[in-house]
Amino acid sequence: MPDSLIVKFDCCLVSPYHTTQHTYRNLRRCYPHILGSSLRGMILSYLIQTSCQESYLAELTTKKWPAEIQKFHRSCPKECLLKDFAGEADWLPVFSFGEFNADFARSLQHRVGIDREHRTVAVGKIVSIEVVPEGTDFQFRVILPVPALNQRTALERAVRGVGQWLGLGHYKSLGFGRFEVRGVSETSLKQEIERASTEASKLRSPFRLTLETPMVIQNATYQLPLQTEALGQSLAQALFERTTEVSKRFELATPLVTVPILPENCRFSFRPDYVSRESFEEGMRKNALVALRESWFDVSFEEITQPLWQQLAVARVLGVGPWADAGFGRLSAQNPTFTGG
């Protein structure tokens, strides 16, 4: 029986990359990674530009609501990867962040500012832009559910097209964000989950959950101000809901519990920030409060059982919380903990 597939792309920048994390008066800081939503959005853009006929594009621009856009793509007579991106929830691929190598460095480029009102050079204004320089390697992964496996070749072709013709991040019109694909490899999602579950089975309570990518914090899930007991309950609920959802979508082993596994104790240290991402379907930017990478939860459980291993494995490979399908909310677990910090 076919298994859901993790497709890993090893890439190298052939021009500088920049996506603004923070803007100061004359300085624009760059994220230390490529958002999974950026990768997904540019692949969708490439597919639309190369796959959709002009008559379809004209009709597509009249659609305003996500449900309309999804229905339009699903009803198209042409077979292409867009149908899987716009398919039912249990068909959707999952994107990781683009991760630069651990020893990557950022540098500054200086550009003349533009007066947006008059579209001319802004007198006396110089802007410094933090960039990841060309020649920097990065990797990302796309997880394809079984119904989308027949689009594996189309996905690779689209990724290579994005790197050559469109680019990633800001200033693409100036040639920023171009990359080439150096290698493509595949692994079974079930095998990856099993490996992560085996690692989780070796944990002792208490242990630390560290964010490998930012995790979205919503008022509906994490009541502000954050309270320790409520946060532990919310974390348990997020782990349970994500495991239940992806087990169905990717045909993993059936979850062994029907209720969240609550920790006995939970403490946390968050590095808060706001992340802005473009919603391709809705044609608008969305902002969210996040806990940045290296934020952590210290948790203790009465017993570390197989259902908990499974949930921690899902959090490691597929993430938890809102926007997890775009690479947010990846968690890793380790001992020892409660050593301060």
CA distance 35 to 105: 18
pLDDT in tens, 46-79: 988 887 777 777 777 777 666 777 777 777 777 7
71-121 pLDDT, tens digit each: 777 777 777 777 767 665 557 899 999 999 988 889 988 776 666 665 554
What value does the mean pLDDT take over residues 39-52?
A: 87
Pick the closest to residue 12 from 126, 211, 160 (CA basis). 160
Cα–Cα dist 139/89, whole Å: 25
DSSP label at residue 196: H
pLDDT of residue 316: 96
Q: Could you report the per-residue pLDDT of 263-297, keeping only the tens digit for each?
A: 999 988 888 888 887 766 555 678 888 999 989 99
The CATH architecture that domain 201-334 belongs to is: Sandwich (2.60)
Which residue is it, tokens 């809102």? 322
Q: How many CA atoms lie within 13 A of 116 on its CB side?
A: 0
pLDDT of residue 9: 98
What CATH code is assigned to 5-189? Answer: 3.30.70
Q: What is the DSSP secondary structure assignment for residue 236, as one 8-state letter?
A: H
- Provide the residue ranges of all domains of the chain, joining segments of one domain with +: 5-189, 201-334
User: CA-based angle 297:35:33, to the nearest 5?
Assistant: 75
